[in-house]
Chains A and B, each alone.
Chain A
């Protein structure tokens, strides 16, 4: 492989990571406030279809992205209402919505299947895009890819360096303490779930208007990506930077799979296509295994010097969810 094609490949990895980043950061915000939005997989299909349909009808890309965000926000509102106000299981409502949104997307998207629609243009940044190597890698993308870079930094800054960001983390870690500090826990959870949903909702139109332009129904190749996003959220340990590492690593592996396919004629294409999923199980295993009882037991049997190193590696990989994730809050309890 020449240096140039490698550069283009890596630049493409950054582009195909953009929708995943929006999904992962959106979900991270929602889960940090204590609400798991499990509807991701269906929601992305619906917002991809809706965003494409809206910009097909209006000719406006902006309205396409806006519709995607609105669909994400609406689905998140339903999750928030059923789980916060009605105190039903977040997993249950999320699962129903992921199935419902998928079928709605296929049903409503039937008439526009395979149509040619608008597509997001590249926006090379003047000056910056002429820098050798770095210019091609970072500054010759569409606007949403630039926004995905910004999103990582802004969401990190908000969570780690601002007061409302601290409060957001308190909502998911210790809602009672947040309440005592004067926060309206349930109202804030609504707000962050909806904001997270709107951000994640952009993932759909990023696919249908840019990364995998168009709407092709069941063969759009988007079914499954939502579950990957939810796993990367866990892998990311609910922090923006580690989540971004997960998203980029995932896209890199997917690209490598495409590049390696011609070199490995004996490996059937179906196997490489699903390679992300065993990988997903493996990473979840890595970030969770240190909390398993038998691991702790066998660790304690190791000699002190080895034990410390192994424990260090496991602790570095370990990801602990927000303590109050999935639990309804009632100030009277």
Chain B
């Protein structure tokens, strides 16, 4: 066995097959036909132009989150707090929108300012996790998770408190904005907005160029691989960590702002929809490299959208999408470890 493309491909394919086999077994345990479930997911994701459009709509925030996470992963940080950063982005975006709604300026400008506010909100929340890590010694995983729960509470409090609908507050969220403040979509029926899509593609390109082609990316990598030697080489370590927190938070905030301005047009209780947590899975699956992030994020978005129909059609829980994703990432992780271990063994013998 050699460490070449063919070996890597074989291990990758093996991981995918194992993940699918185990998922099928899980579906079979519940007394259902796994192939029927897969067929349903496929139909629910590419069966009609409408659902395919929904996949793209859900790809945008996922890709934004993943692009941001590539920065924090490169510098060696687990930014689990990204979920809350998306929520804060959404909250800030709604905040700006509420403040500017009745202002006598062009709607396009209001939408743009609302998005900028969202970016700032996400960045702020990320820097808070970063400050806890840098100046308080609080591991970013626990600090970030705590902040996620705080963000959720803040969101619920706003929806049921100060920003509640006139009359009665409800789980359906705040009052929708005036339709002229909605981000323009492809057509009246479609939820697909071209501007966020372009922004998302732009961020993954930015991530690719910065991480793969600049000294900045190289410095982040050095800090990620070995912070001590990076520091001795003269790279300001914590500043680079804070910077990648800020970049990731900005992208996450943008994702939240996109959800507010182009998808829901209001604040809803589950505004971050788990895109941050799924983004972490995507980043792990592509081994923290920007090259395959976009297609894998698209695949994960298709799984999520495709499984929405499962409870109605097959009485299966839509968390099946998460089960497939989880097994995929787990087996790719195992496959990577096994490949390296086998290669080392062979080296040892020869």
Contact = CB atoms under 8 A, between A and B. Distances in A.
B330 A93 contact: yes
B147 A99 contact: no
A288 B150 contact: no
Interface stretch (A17-25, A159-167, A187-195, A275-283): A275-283
A274 interface: yes
A96 B326 contact: yes
Interface residues of A, number: 47
Contact of A285 (B136, B316, B329): B136
A79 B160 CA distance: 41
Contact of A294 (B135, B160, B337): B135
Contact of B317 (A78, A106, A274, A291): A106
Contacts of B132: 281, 285
Contacts of A95: 78, 80, 280, 284
Most buried by A among B142, B152, B338: B142
A268 B161 contact: yes
A168 B333 CA distance: 28
Contact of B150 (A91, A93, A96, A277): A277
A231 B146 CA distance: 10
B323 A104 contact: yes
B30 A82 contact: no
Interface in B144-163: 145-147, 149-150, 152-153, 156-157, 160-161
A289 B337 contact: no
A99 to B, nearest CB: 5
B107 interface: no
A99 B321 CA distance: 11
B281 interface: yes
B327 interface: yes
A32 interface: no
Contacts, number: 145
Interface string B331-346: 0011011101100000
B312 interface: no
Contacts of B323: 100, 103-104, 107
A45 B105 CA distance: 50
A60 interface: no
Contact of B136 (A108, A111, A227, A292): A292
A222 interface: no
A82 B326 contact: no
Contacts of B319: 102-104, 106-107
B26 A104 contact: yes
A107 B147 contact: no
Interface string B114-149: 000000000000000000100111110111011101
A284 B337 contact: no
B333 A88 contact: yes
B277 interface: yes
A270 interface: yes
B146 A103 contact: no
A91 B141 contact: yes
A86 B317 contact: no
A86 B143 CA distance: 28
A284 B150 CA distance: 16
Contact of A288 (B136, B327, B329, B330): B136
Interface string A70-101: 00000000100110011110011101110111
B34 interface: no
Contacts of B147: 277, 281
A230 B280 CA distance: 20
A230 B142 contact: yes
Contacts of A244: none
Nearest to B78: A91
B146 A93 contact: no
A56 interface: no
Given A91-B78, A230-B142, A274-B152, A96 B160 contact: no
B255 interface: no
A10 interface: no
A87 B337 contact: yes
Contacts of A88: 333-334, 336-337
A198 interface: no
Contacts of B145: 227, 277
Interface in A276-317: 277-278, 280-281, 284-285, 288-289, 291-292, 294
Contacts of B217: none
A93 B153 contact: no
B104 interface: no
Nearest to A38: B141
Contacts of A104: 26, 319, 323, 326
B333 A82 contact: yes
A288 B137 contact: yes
A103 B149 contact: no
Most buried by B among A38, A93, A234: A93
Contact of A100 (B142, B153, B330, B336): B330
B160 A108 contact: no
Contacts of B135: 292, 294
A224 interface: yes
A215 to B, nearest CB: 12
A294 B134 CA distance: 10
A271 B158 CA distance: 11
A184 interface: no
Interface of A: 38, 78, 81-82, 85-88, 91-93, 95-97, 99-104, 106-108, 110-111, 217, 224, 227, 230-231, 234, 268, 270-271, 273-274, 277-278, 280-281, 284-285, 288-289, 291-292, 294
9 contacts: A78-B330, A85-B337, A92-B333, A96-B333, A99-B281, A106-B317, A110-B30, A234-B139, A281-B138
- Can you list the 8 inter-chain pairs with the closest CB atoms, starting with the nearest? A86-B337, A100-B326, A103-B322, A288-B137, A274-B153, A277-B149, A110-B317, A106-B319
